Amino acid sequence: MLFGAIESGGTKFVCGIGNENGEILERVSFPTTTPDETMGQVIEFFKNKQMDAMGVGSFGPVDPNKDSPTYGYITSTPKTKWRNFNFIGELKKHFDMPIGFDTDVNAAALGETEWGAAKGLDSCVYMTVGTGVGGGAIVEGKMLHGMLHPEMGHILIKRHPEDHFTGNCPYHNDCLEGMAAGPAIEKRWGKKGIELQEVDKVWEIEAYYLAQVVVNLVYTISPKRIILGGGVMKQKQLFPMIRKNVKELLNGYVETKEILVDIDNYIVSPGLGDNAGLCGAIALAKRAYQG
């Protein structure tokens, strides 16, 4: 079986063809511009390709409710040209096959449970920390939805006592994304994160904020593994700092072996690396094909 996969990001689209084992056989990427231009490139890539189904993991917010009249839409995104865009409807004009659809981070979480760092587990959270911050969750083998879908990047957090940055989120200023996403780091310090690798205070503050979302996830969803990906998390010094902060913030309240003795294998980087989102879209396609 062959599946088409689309990882739709606010900065770039990644399209590929993969098989039922999550192997990517072909891939291409291009910048996210206007819907007309970007979707034209998507359709051109998949045209005449052999596929049994397609999967889409998209930046959001999106409508993943199949009973909703706006199912398959990108909805209230800050990217105004994409607001209320009928993503699945546009694909259905050109491809007559099952199409799976969810957020990019829910897709990545699914991919990691199928083939990556959470393989063999029925629950995990995947968070991406990059241009934005977002999170997706698998709970008892299912992608987590509710009234909408998880928006973990906008949780409210306690401010680091030495951080006087006002925040960078257009909706909430100092929510998690407003304080910890790549653009927030750059705006706070005047340089991109990659230029600040040796400045310990940058990562001390970053780890403090990211540890808070991990602690909140432990308390609310209790996932069996937490996976942190995205461009900011390529700063490998963050992982030990986040784990240390998590233990301190939990303060002995959660006494599981995952936290007390095996936290290095509990808070981890993506097993699929930069392919988590695209492999997740393959997993969405596979589920759509299986009905």
Question: Whole domain around residue 98: which residue ranges?
Answer: 2-103+278-290
Give yes or no: residues 222 and 156 share one domain: yes
Question: pLDDT tens digits, residue range 109-149?
Answer: 999 999 999 999 999 999 999 999 999 999 999 999 988 88
Question: pLDDT tens digits, residue range 149-185?
Answer: 889 999 999 999 999 999 999 999 999 999 999 999 9
Give yes or no: residues 68 and 126 share one domain: no
Give yes or no: residues 252 and 160 share one domain: yes
Q: Is the pLDDT of residue 97 over 90?
A: yes
Q: Which residues contact 153 (CB under 8 A, 6 or more apart)?
A: 127, 132, 133, 134, 135, 175, 176, 177, 181
% of the chain surpassing 70 pLDDT = 100
Q: Identify whether 110 is part of a domain.
A: no
Please classify residue 52 by burial: count the beta carbons closer than 10 Å to its beta carbon, then call 0-12 exposed, 13-18 middle and 19+ buried: middle
Chain-centre distance of CA 116, in angstroms?
Answer: 14
Give yes or no: residues 26 and 159 share one domain: no
Give yes or no: residues 66 and 147 share one domain: no
CATH of the domain at 145: 3.30.420.40
Mean pLDDT of the chain: 96
Give yes or no: residues 17 and 150 share one domain: no
Q: Sorting pLDDT into bands at 50, 70 and 90, what band is 10? A: confident
Q: Is the pLDDT of residue 79 over 90?
A: no
3-state secondary structure 140-169: CCEECCCCCCCCHHHCECCCCCCCCCCCCE
Question: Could you give the CA distance from residue 184 to residue 188 in angstroms, rounded to a whole number?
Answer: 6
Contact 54, 97 (CB under 8 A): yes
Give yes or no: residues 86 and 177 share one domain: no
Q: Identify whether 111 is part of a domain.
A: no
Q: Identify whether 109 is part of a domain.
A: no
Q: Sorting pLDDT into bands at 50, 70 and 90, what band is 222? A: very high
